[in-house]
A and B are shown apart, each in its own frame.
Chain A
Amino acid sequence: MKKILFVAALVLVLAAPAIAAPPGQLNYGCGLGATVFKDGGANDSILLQLVATFLNGLCGNGTFGISSGTSECAKPKNVAGNERLNEFAYKNLDDLARDIAAGQGETVTTVAVLLDVPVESRPAFYKNLQAGFPEIFPTPTTDTAHVVDAITKIAARG
């Protein structure tokens, strides 16, 4: 009996990876889930979700390491400014910090696009961002609101 149980367990353990869905997967057939579904239910506002993102305004409380999770934008703050930039910075803060520190990369290019920095002045803008790193990220817990403000100031200085 013991032997039977042992072998049964062995077969199960070995077969587990073949049939187990990865934990937290919300979606069948093609990778991870569609995070647009709030509260696990689909409703008419699936597409509106997107628009709501804009209306939510700013996620000022985002810090390093947030974007690697699946945290939702929870604390709208009423800070005027470029909403798409706020949203982008919140969701991509880690990558953005890396590109600012390196003075180049896809996310700083995206920031330049969102701030309408002309193509010919972008190399200088990236250089200024790198030099301004201590100003943009004064501490390890700097939040998105501060980051966006600092970047906007640097862009305005030209």
Chain B
Amino acid sequence: MRALSVFLSALLAAAAVPARASGDPYLAELKSRAESAGLSADPYWKILLHLRRGISGERSLVDDPKFFLAPSGKTDPAAELNATLDGLFDLALDPPAFCRFPGRYAWLADKLGIDPRRLPRIPACPEVDNILRAVDARSVGMVFASGYVNSPASMFGHTFLRIDSPLASPLLGYAVNYAALTNPADGGVTFTVKGMLGGYDGYYSLMPYYDKVREYSGIDQRDMWEYPLNLTPEEVRPLMLHLVELRGIATDYYFFDENCSYELLFLLDAARPSARLTGTMDRGWVIPMDTVRAVLDAGLVDNGAVAWRPSRAVKIRHARSLLPGRERELSLRVADGKAPPGEILSGPASDAEKARALDLAAELLQYRIAKRQMEHKEFQERFHAILSARTRLRPGKDATPPPPRPAPPEEGHSSARVHAGGGWRGSEGFLEAGWRPAYHDYTDFPDGYTPGALIEIFAGAARFFPESDRVRLDRLDFIRIQSIDPVDPIFRPKSWKARFAVETRDFTKTKDSLVPNAGAGIGVTVKVAERAVAYALAEAEAAISRDYHASYRIGAGGSLGVTAEPARGWQLWLEGRGIRGVLGETKEGPDLSASLRQGFRLSRELALKADLSVERVRRVARTEGTLTLNRYFW
């Protein structure tokens, strides 16, 4: 895919060689000054070209031939610099080079002291000026939209920038977003494969911030965290100029590294090159929250100014919890059209409670229309009636207080984890070491993570059994996701899980082998206490091994579980699971297990875990216990 696009780019670029500028003496002078100043190796030039050091030397991450003026520009920054200077003198280029690359030219003009009167045409660009004037950028914030596990592509969250003008309302800012342009017709599998392998083009875009607020907190039910950055207006300007030169420029989108979050860092580096943010992310995968941490670590955020924008779902749940029972029920009935808004007004509640009940009814109605659960006309009439009733109550002081603010995401544990410890299985002791590049499970301290979302990518553990001198890869989860989101009278999310893994399974008392398996489940979760939920999932699992009769087993079954936080810093996860073979191996079932996993937080990046399980596999029963020390990092 990539090689092909590089080849095509080269081909296209070769076809689009600009007409060589005439041998203008001023051009020669600029080139020699640029060379003696070593500009083509300047860190800022590398930022402008999105250069990254790879296996085959430095190359630009941008894949669009339109982004390069030199045929070899993608891999040759010096040639690209010369071609960029040529562009200033090339009257055949349309649009003029300085309109296409305002960021590059602003920097070159500053570094070389370019005299515009000695150029063949004045480097003025109304189109660019219009954009800059419209946005009127003075300051920048970084926004983190929390993860949404029911859309796997969004499960790690999302980051974008907000450009603010002098107007004193955050809603009037502009969101700068980097996203892949996907084909809505692509199915889930195509989408996933293309997303991981660079099959989609990513683009930068700019849109009103209120559109993003509606999209994330209104429709998508995701909380937003807004981090104001301490960039000065002088630093914001080059960011804007660089953004303008990236308009309509395509870069192959890679879900794991060249993604929304990584690409934004080029813009921040353009504003403050000394932060070198893109350089902090050379590990093969980039998680949105990690880029926020990098931005915090680089000192770009002033403490104490972080704003939280709760999603509509959070607001509705909070508002319901504040109302007396009668108003809680009534607001739902009013929203559903089963009672007139006047019934809230004429009730016995205080004015404040009435106001909150009507506000809640309006919010519920907006949730319904956003989810397409009602007709447009019906919405208009009911919404109008509720709001008309609301105007009977005094303005201001009776509004619903905001929900309590959760711990901000950056206060959560880091995204990667290693652990070491030991335990016993059956009658034999073992030592264990494990790793997890990303991200979170139910025994990790939950602050800063989406409640109920378990996501593990490439997590594994190896065991050494000293008595029998065996080393075993105990498990390796290529991907494991579980979402347990409790249902209530308003929200009815499905709970589900999916897992692709290899794990060591026992087949007889003395024989084990490594079994590739894939499983999934779907079901429901309910809240059972203030900090405890219970779930039930129907499950299916396919496993392959020579040691199964017929070499495979497809099984069906289910799991019941509880996750709880008995005390702050103590996470508990109890689960019972059963699977019975229905195809392939069917005579040896069912496999049953019960496990109790616990996590004890020692500090933000350190935890103790204790697991205990009892299982009965192929009619052989075993107990297992492990105790491990876990260290989070990155």
Contact = CB atoms under 8 A, between A and B. Distances in A.
Partners in one complex: yes
Interface of A: 3-4, 7, 10-11, 13-37, 40, 42-51, 53-54, 63-65, 67-68, 84, 87-88, 91-92, 94-95, 97-98, 100-107, 109-110, 113-114, 123, 126-127, 130-131, 133-134, 137, 139-141
B207 A37 contact: no
28 contacts: A11-B542, A19-B189, A21-B153, A25-B182, A26-B179, A30-B153, A30-B154, A30-B160, A31-B154, A31-B216, A31-B220, A33-B179, A37-B181, A49-B207, A50-B134, A50-B206, A65-B376, A92-B210, A98-B366, A101-B387, A103-B394, A104-B399, A105-B399, A123-B396, A127-B395, A134-B391, A139-B384, A140-B384
Contacts of A20: 187-188
Nearest to A119: B168
Interface in B110-150: 127, 130-131, 134-135, 145, 148, 150
B253 interface: yes
Contacts of A7: 540, 554, 556, 582-583
Contact of A103 (B130, B395, B583): B395
Contacts of A23: 184
Contacts of A42: 181, 201, 203, 248, 250
Given A17-B496, A29-B253, A47-B247, 6 more contacts: A14-B496, A29-B260, A32-B216, A32-B219, A65-B383, A114-B172
Among B160, B390, B539, B542, find the residue whose CB has the most chain A CB atoms closer than 10 A: B390
Interface of B: 127, 130-131, 134-135, 145, 148, 150-154, 157-160, 167-172, 174, 177, 179-182, 184, 186-189, 191-192, 194-195, 200-201, 203-208, 210-211, 214-216, 218-220, 222, 243-244, 247-248, 250, 253, 255, 259-261, 288, 355, 359, 362-363, 366, 369-370, 376, 379-381, 383-385, 387-388, 390-391, 394-396, 399, 481, 494, 496-498, 518, 520-522, 538-540, 542, 554, 556, 582-583
B551 to A, nearest CB: 15
Those 5 A-B pairs whose CB atoms lie nearest each other, nearest first: A103-B395, A18-B498, A30-B158, A14-B520, A28-B180
Given A88-B172, A103-B394, A50 B135 contact: yes
A38 to B, nearest CB: 11
Contact of A29 (B168, B195, B208): B195
Given A63-B380, A64-B379, A29 B153 contact: yes
Given A64-B384, A107-B171, A10 B540 contact: yes
A25 B153 contact: yes
A35 B396 contact: no
A51 B132 CA distance: 10
Nearest to B258: A29
Contacts of B174: 50
Given A30-B260, A91-B210, A44 B247 contact: yes
Contacts of A32: 215-216, 219-220
Given A31-B216, A130-B391, A15 B384 contact: no
Contacts of B160: 30
Contact of B522 (A17, A49, A101): A17
A102 B355 contact: yes
Nearest to B390: A101
Contacts of B554: 7, 11
A37 B205 CA distance: 9
Contacts of B539: 14
Contacts of B395: 102-104, 126-127, 130
A28 B195 contact: yes
Nearest to B497: A18
Nearest to A66: B376
A25 B184 contact: yes
B381 A68 contact: no
Nearest to A23: B184
Contacts of A26: 179, 181-182, 184
A42 B192 CA distance: 21
Contacts of A43: 248
Contacts, number: 276
Contacts of B399: 102, 104-105
Contact of A31 (B187, B215, B582, B583): B215
B182 A51 contact: no
A44 B387 contact: no
Given A21-B191, A94-B366, A64 B203 contact: no
Nearest to A94: B366
Contacts of B191: 21, 28
A94 B181 contact: no
Interface centre among B130, B388, B395, B498 (most CB of A within 10 A): B395
B192 A27 contact: no
A143 B451 CA distance: 40
A64 to B, nearest CB: 4
A47 B417 CA distance: 40
Contacts of B247: 44-48
B156 to A, nearest CB: 8
Contacts of A92: 171, 210, 214
Given A7-B554, A65-B376, A109-B169, A131 B359 contact: no
A34 B207 contact: yes
B582 A102 contact: no
Nearest to B375: A65
B206 A97 contact: no
A26 B381 CA distance: 32
A130 B288 CA distance: 41
Most A CB contacts (10 A, CB to CB) among B219, B247, B261 go to: B247
A158 to B, nearest CB: 17
A102 B359 contact: yes
Given A28-B153, A37-B205, A46-B248, A110 B179 contact: no
Nearest to B152: A18
A29 B494 CA distance: 21
A94 B383 contact: yes
Given A26-B182, A67-B214, A101-B390, A34 B205 contact: yes
B179 A34 contact: yes
Contacts of A14: 496, 498, 520-522, 538-540
A140 B382 CA distance: 8
B189 A46 contact: no
Nearest to B191: A21
